[in-house]
Amino acid sequence: MKKLISAGIAAVLSAALLTGCGGAGNAITVISREDGSGTRGAFTELMGILENEVDNTVATAEISNSTSVVIQSVAGNESAIGYISLGSLSSEVKAVKVDGVEATVDNINNGTYKVSRPFNIATRDDISPLAADFVSFIMSADGQAIIEEKGYIKASDNGAYAPSGLEGTIVVAGSTSVAPVMEKLADKYKEINPSVTIEIQQTGSSAGMTSTIEGACDIGMASRELKDSELSAGISPTVIAMDGIAVIVNNKNDVENLTSEQIKGIYTGTITNWSEVK
Amino acid sequence: MKGVFLISACVSVIAVVTICVFLFANGVPAIAKIGPSEFLLGKSWKPLENKFGIFPMIVGSIYVTAGAIIIGVPVGIFCAVFMAKFCPQGLYKILKPAIELLAGIPSIVYGFFGLMVIVPVMQDIFGGSGKSMLTASVLLGIMILPTIIGVAESAVRAVPESYYEGSLALGATSERSVFCAMLPAAKTGIMAGVILGIGRAIGETMAVVMICGNQSVLPNSITSGVRTLTANIVLEMGYAADLHRDALIATAVVLFVFILIINTLFSIIKNNKE
């Protein structure tokens, strides 16, 4: 019995050593988000990974369904690459320059960093006065301050908000990415106008647009540009904030800059080794 | 007062029936719409292009569970034997609560442990991302230990002491008596524990989703990533709409059938024992 066990342990250890010596060199570990995620949608579209409605993300890409797991995976793996919302960037990982431009709020504002997406709200033309007042609050200096506080980029330079004294209920539905900042906005608005109730439903961008068109909600949220079919159905978009998408690598990775062609190559599987992009 | 007891008894039955009805009412039409063979045997899962093939996930679930059994069962059984036969009283008082605690740790905590501890170790040994079938199997192997140890220990304890003493009297060593006389007698009980462990492993979600890589392709080695049925559901439920959502519920139907099979096996083995 003892011989058997020690033989087993020896076999396992030597197998581990043998494979360990092989190593994997500098193969890139590609980390992506799940299908349907707004971040993935925007990233694949901006980088040209999405072509003719077909998402060409390489099938062997690791899939994570939350920003924190993407950060954790990249932080723990020297050869990994991932992408996250700029608002969630932390010092655990390194954001690379895209086409030589650093991922900062300023560069998104002046349009040089192109990997960004709008946070949209959509409204019908026959919007209620109360909902319209909430929209004007979001676009006011007070509303935009909350957006900047949450790590996004403001989209308007309007002046301060003047309370209207209206009352009633506003229903907001749509993107789960926009919802957290919308909740903060709603809290602040309710503080100023205590007799207003705001109901926020996290249904996803597409469902939010459909509800707005059908009149099931007053304001729809989308973490992407509106589609032509949605615009022609009689809703109009307002950009309430911009969210950058940072391409992140491990802190120990000495790659500082990637071109969008290289990022596309990595995510579609034509570039598989870090030595090809150095 | 009897009524209260009856209602309490009904609650769980009603819950099971409601879940069944919900799953099958939503899932079966989706399977029919996608096509049963395309759904179950399709190798491509691309919801945005209306390709819903869960074959890689079925294979992934089976592989990961098998790996967990290979790792967890020997350790679990040896541990159970030790606890029942060789463990000094003092050590037992520490071991038993420790194993019970292992069963009580939330699976998300296991997931973080896997991500922070097992994944880096796997990276060092095998290179690559460290998120693989093997990583998931190791973690699940640990997670099913308390289930297997608990059931196997009571099975070993239930074997009459005379088996052990008889074997000793024939000149066998203590180890040999335990492994060749007592373990075969406790076989059905141990099998029941293993099957409960399989059920636990195949249904595990939060821990696995963090460490298995989640690629929806057929794995080509034990160090490549896999996506399990449970991971597929939890990954995409948040954003899914229409047929995509129904396809995820249909994935749950498949998982439910797996669990039904496992539970049936469990009852068959238990009945054989009696």
Regarding beta strands A219-222 and A168-174, do their DSSP bridges make them parallel or antiparallel, or are they unpaired? parallel
Q: ∠ CA(A156), CA(A160), CA(A163), 5° rounding?
A: 120
- In chain A, what percentage of residues exceed pLDDT 90? 22
pLDDT at A11: 60
Mean pLDDT for A54-81 is: 85
Residue A166 bridge partners (DSSP): none
Q: Which two tokens stand for residue B221?
A: 């080695």
Whether B197 is in a domain gets the answer: yes
DSSP chain A: -HHHHHHHHHHHHHHHHHHHHH--TTB-EEEEEPTT-HHHHHHHHHTT-EETTEE---TT-EEESSHHHHHHHHHT-TTEEEEEEGGG--TTEEEPEETTB---HHHHHTT----EEEEEEEEETT--HHHHHHHHHHHSHHHHHHHHHTT-EE-------------EEEEEEE-TTTHHHHHHHHHHHHHHSTTEEEEEEE--HHHHHHHHHHTS-SEEEESSPPPHHHHTTTEEEEEEEEEEEEEEEETT----EE-HHHHHHHHHTS--BGGGG-
Cβ atoms within 10 A of the Cβ of A250, count? 21
Would you say B138 and B71 are in contact if contact means Cβ atoms under 8 Å apart?
yes
Amino acid at B17: V
Closest Cβ–Cβ partner in A55, A65, A79 for B235: A65
Give A5's pLDDT tier (boundaries 50, 70, 90): low
A22 pLDDT more than 50 = no
Q: Which two structure tokens, joined as six digits, stand for A194?
A: 């205590």
Highest mean pLDDT: which range of A224-238, A263-277, B54-68: B54-68
pLDDT at site A9: 60
User: Per the structure, how many domains does chain B have?
Assistant: 1
Residue B7: inside a domain: no
List the single residue in A with minimal CA-CA distance to B220: A60
Partners of A85 in beta bridges: A245
How much is the pLDDT for A77? 86
On chain B, the residues whose CB falls within 8 A of the CB of A29 are: 128-129
Mean of per-residue pLDDT scores for chain A: 84
Instruction: Check residues A1 and B39 and name the one with the higher pLDDT.
Output: B39
- Which residue of B49, B128, B239 is in closest CB contact with A204? B239
Asked if the Cβ–Cβ distance from A206 to B241 is below 8 Å, we say: yes
Give mean pLDDT, residues A204-216.
84
**A30 close to A61: Cβ distance less than 8 angstroms:** yes
A122 within 8 A of A226, measured Cβ to Cβ: yes
Burial track B52-81 (b if 16+ CB lie within 10 A, e otherwise): bbbbbbbbbbebbbebbbebbbeebbebbb
Q: Which of A31-40, A96-105, B257-266 has the lowest mean pLDDT?
A: A31-40
Residue predicted with more confidence, B158 or A109: B158
Residue B11 lies in a domain: no
* ipTM over the 0.85 cut-off: no
Q: Using an 8 Å CB-CB cutoff, list residues of chain B that contact chain A.
A: 46-49, 115-116, 119-120, 123-131, 175-176, 179, 209-210, 213-217, 224-225, 227, 234-236, 238-241, 244
CA–CA separation, A81 and A73 (whole Å) = 9
Q: What are the angstrom distances between the C-alpha of A162 and each of A135, A165, A187, A221, B43?
A: 12, 9, 16, 24, 57
- Residue A122: the pLDDT is 92
What one-character DSSP code corresponds to residue B220?
A: S
pTM of the model: 0.77
For residue B186, give both structure tokens: 């406790």
Tell me what the mean pLDDT of segment A42-64 comes to. Answer: 85
Identify which of A25-39, A225-239, B98-112, B124-138 has the greatest average pLDDT. Answer: B98-112
Mean pLDDT by 10 residues, chain B (274 residues): 89 92 90 90 85 91 94 94 90 92 92 90 84 93 94 92 92 90 90 91 90 87 89 81 84 92 88 70
Task: Find chain B residues with C-beta within 8 A of A12's C-beta.
Answer: none
Q: What is the arithmetic mean of pLDDT over A34-60?
A: 83
* Residue B130 forms part of a structural domain: yes
- Cα dihedral value A175, A178, A179, A184, nearest 10: -170
Look up residue B252 and give its two tokens: 């749950």
For residue B76, tell me if it sits in a domain.
yes
Q: Specify if B49 maps to a domain.
A: no
Q: Do A176 and B238 touch (CB under 8 A)?
A: yes
Phi, psi for residue B119 in degrees, rounded to 5: -60, -50
Q: For residue A244, what pLDDT is reported?
A: 86
- Please report the pLDDT score of residue A1 as a whole number: 54
pLDDT at position A18 is 46
Whether residue B220 contacts residue B63, with contact meaning beta carbons closer than 8 Å, is answered with no
> What average pLDDT does this structure show over A257-262?
89
3-state helix, strand, coil in chain B (%, to 5): 80, 0, 20
A22 touches chain B (CB under 8 A): yes
Q: Which residues neighbour B189 within 8 Å (Cβ) at sequence distance 6 or greater?
A: B151, B152, B154, B155, B156, B158, B273
Q: So what's the pLDDT on residue B273? A: 63
At residue A274 the predicted structure's pLDDT band, cuts being 50, 70 and 90, is: confident
Where is average pLDDT lowest: A152-156, A240-244, B27-31, B181-185?
A: A152-156
The answer to whether residues B230 and B61 touch, using CB atoms and an 8 Å cutoff, is: yes
pLDDT at B110 (0 to 100): 93
Range among A28-37, A40-49, B82-91 with highest mean pLDDT value: B82-91
Which amino acid would we find at residue B93?
A: K
We report the CATH number of the domain holding residue B105 as: 1.10.3720.10
Exposure on the CB side of residue B82, measured as CA atoms within 13 A: 11
- Reported confidence tier of residue A231, pLDDT bands at 50, 70, 90: confident
- Rounded to whole angstroms, the Cα distance separating A51 from A39 reads 17
Burial of B29: CB neighbours in 10 Å, binned 0-12, 13-18, 19+: middle
pLDDT of residue B93: 92
Does the residue B89 lie in any domain? yes
Mutate to test the interface with B, among A60, A74, A92, A205 (most CBs of B within 10 A): A60
- DSSP one-letter code for B226: B
CB B232 within 8 A of CB B224: no
Nearest to A54 among B49, B126, B227 (CB): B49
For residue B125, give how far its alpha carbon lies from the nearest alpha carbon of chain A (Å).
Answer: 5
Residue with tokens 């597929």: B232
In a domain, B40, yes or no: no
Domains of chain A: 22-116+245-277 (3.40.190.10), 119-242 (3.40.190.10)
Checking if the pLDDT of A13 tops 80, the result is no
The range of the structural domain enclosing residue B243 comes to: 56-270
Please name the helix (run of DSSP H) or strand (run of DSSP E) that holds residue B23, with its range, or none.
helix B2-34
